Amino acid sequence: MMKKQDKIFTVQNLAAKLKEAKTVVLTDYQGLTANQITQLRTMVKNVGGELMVVKNTLLQRALKDASLPIPENEGPTAIVIGIEDEIEPIKTLSQHQRNLGLPKFKSGIWEDRVITAEELDELGQLPSKDQLLVKLTSLLRSPGVRLVGSLSGNQRKLVLILKAKAEGGEN
């Protein structure tokens, strides 16, 4: 049981983190072992996020103090705060969910609005920023490559025609 002073400190600390967060994800962590939670916490930290298990009442007070919307929330809750990147912590949770079936998305907060578990699933399926940059680069490069191929093809045809005429003229 937490003392009142500890609860106040926890709420203030959590509210400060929530104010800085780019994304907040609420998950149901029931069914994960302590080792799996620790492993997931490390994975989320590696992509610029933080995973915490918090009491729902303390979370609601911290969200209120941070002036963020309060999503509906029942049952055991772990929150993931995206500090450096909005999407990568969600992708990490989504990948872990595909591998083990857990944790389950409950809801989240993104750009000061509540988002559903379905929206979180969609965000988790997005390609990474690096993958998108590679695709963009290849798309931008593609028309130039095709143009060069087309132009050089016409030059080759012209050279072949001239060569055929030259050979035909000699006979």
Q: What is the pLDDT of residues 29-80, one digit of tens each?
A: 999 999 999 999 999 999 999 999 999 999 999 999 999 999 988 999 999 9
Distance in angstroms between the alpha carbons of the first and the last residue of the chain: 105
Overall average pLDDT of the 103-122 stretch: 93
pLDDT at 88: 92
Q: How far apart are CA 78 and CA 30, in angstroms?
A: 9
Matching residue, tokens 């937490």? 2
pLDDT at 169: 63
Q: Structure tokens of 30?
A: 């029931």
The dotted CATH code for 4-126 is 3.30.70.1730
pLDDT at 80: 96
The candidate with the shortest Cα–Cα distance to 112, out of 67, 74, 60, 78, is: 67
**What's the gap between Cα 164 and its chain centre?**
59
Matching residue, tokens 């016409």? 154
111 φ, ψ (degrees, to nearest 5):
55, 45
Q: How confident is the model at residue 92 (pLDDT cuts 50, 70, 90)?
A: very high
More reliable by pLDDT, 160 or 79: 79
Q: How far apart are CA 95 and CA 118, in angstroms?
A: 15
pLDDT at 2: 78
Name which of 19-28, 62-71, 118-127, 151-160 the model is least confident about: 151-160
Residue 1 pLDDT more than 90? no
Residue 171 pLDDT more than 60? no
